[in-house]
Amino acid sequence: MKFIVSSTQLLKQLQVLGGVINSNNTLPILDNFLFELSENELKITASDTHTTMSSVIEIESGVDGTGALPARLLLDILKTFPEQPLTFSLKDDNIVEISSEQGKYDMVYYNADEFPKTIELEDSKATEIPSDIISTAISKTLFAIANDDLRPMMNGVFFQLSPSGLIVVATDAHKLVKYNRTDIISEEESEFVIPKKPLTLLKNVLQNSERPVSVKYNKTNAEFTFDNVVLTCRLIDGKYPNYEAVIPKNVPNVLTLERSSFLNIVRRVSIFSNKTTHQTTLKMAGTELKILAEDLDFNNRASERIACEYIGDDMQIGFNSIFLTEMLNNLDSKEIQIAMSDSNKAGILTPVDAAHECEFITMIVMPVMVS
């Protein structure tokens, strides 16, 4: 097997696929990229058995062949080359020779038959989602995923497709994000939970894609196809928690303020908060909001005031500043609203001006007891 490929083009593809490979694999073959050559197309695959990702690039060849090439060694050598054509020759003695303008480099390759087979989705359903929408949905929810061995369902993002729209949810029981698009509809109602790793890979690859993403799924796996990339992942098995039950329905106290100014104040004030609770307290009265934090153990405290619009009774409520900052960072609107009922119940963060008329974002943050 012999082929010629651009060094930078190959490196770009391998860096994307390299995110699939774990640092410690139980199967040594998973430390490799699978190369499958078919005439003038090279298909490269990486897998950890739960997540498999492949891409296809055009090369100069005209012959067929397969081989598993060491991922780390290949990435390290490709990073050192300036843009130039590289010739790969896979020989019968399990040695692959890479020829560049400067020299030749030999490495061992392995039998492709040992590499895990890509899962074929049987009895699957399919839909198509614009790449920018699925990328945004992942970006808005990924930070809220839990890391809980006792509740594995919360270690992923929940997708619900129905005739009324697309709903994407993530929660760790302290915070919750619900992303809704009413313009992405499906004739049948379906739901599944995708783990964090494939979603992170998908988000990174979709940043530069403008084509729609074809989504296939069944009860155990999901497959995303776009441009020259196919990503297949195992779904998290089980029933996702009833997220609607934790979204407060009666929230008469509504705070409206400028997002970036509020975010900067929370960042400054929270530096003085308790390093265990990260408690930052909001005190609403009239058209003024007071943000304060203190650490009694070290006698540190800080407070700032900001003008706001507030409808409701005077009240104070405490939030974890880390959660609050994460949420404010993941909203793009100029102004945000925080709706509350009382100091012991969750607050609802929403953007005042949505990026699209069919887009609705709801973020829930649980309070901390005001000391």
Walk me through the domains of the chain, giving residue ranges and CATH numbers: 2-114 (3.10.150.10), 128-169+185-239 (3.10.150.10), 247-368 (3.10.150.10)
Q: Given a cut of 90, is residue 272 above it in pLDDT?
A: yes
Q: Mean pLDDT, to the nearest integer, of 121-144?
A: 94
The answer, as to whether pTM is greater than 0.85, is yes
E strand map for 65-220: 65-70, 85-90, 95-99, 104-108, 125-129, 156-162, 165-171, 175-181, 190-195, 213-217
Please provide the size of the chain in residues: 371
pLDDT of res. 37: 94
Distances (CA, A) of 172 to 139, 241, 286: 16, 11, 33
- The per-residue pLDDT of the chain, averaged, comes to 94
Tens of pLDDT, residues 44-60: 999 999 999 999 999 98
Q: How many CB atoms lie within 10 A of CB 129?
A: 21
Distances (CA, A) of 156 to 69, 184, 232, 348: 31, 21, 15, 22
Give the whole-number percent of the chain exceeding pLDDT 90.
88
Tokens coding 151:
């509740």
Q: Which residues neighbour 103 within 8 Å (Cβ) at sequence distance 6 or greater?
A: none
- CA dist 156 and 167 (Å) reads 14
Minimum mean pLDDT among 189-193, 203-207, 323-327: which range? Answer: 203-207
pLDDT band of residue 371 (cuts 50, 70, 90) is low
Q: Given a cut of 90, is residue 127 above it in pLDDT?
A: yes
Among 122, 126, 97, 70, residue whose Cα is nearest residue 4: 97
Q: Mean pLDDT, to the nearest integer, of 150-177?
A: 96
With contact defined as beta carbons under 8 Å apart, do 14 and 21 qualify? no
- CA dist 51 and 46 (Å) reads 8
Residue with tokens 């953007």: 351
pLDDT band of residue 227 (cuts 50, 70, 90) is confident
pLDDT of res. 209: 76
> What backbone torsions phi and psi does residue 31 show, to the nearest 5 degrees?
-80, 5
Tens of pLDDT, residues 243-270: 999 999 999 999 999 999 999 999 999 9
Q: Given a cut of 90, is residue 180 above it in pLDDT?
A: yes
Torsion sign over Cα 326, 330, 335, 337: negative
pLDDT of res. 265: 98
pLDDT of res. 26: 87
pLDDT band of residue 40 (cuts 50, 70, 90) is confident
Q: Given a cut of 80, is residue 370 above it in pLDDT?
A: no
pLDDT band of residue 354 (cuts 50, 70, 90) is confident
pLDDT of res. 207: 79
Distances (CA, A) of 74 to 51, 96, 105: 21, 11, 10
Q: Given a cut of 80, is residue 62 above it in pLDDT?
A: no
Q: Mean pLDDT, to the nearest integer, of 55-69?
A: 90
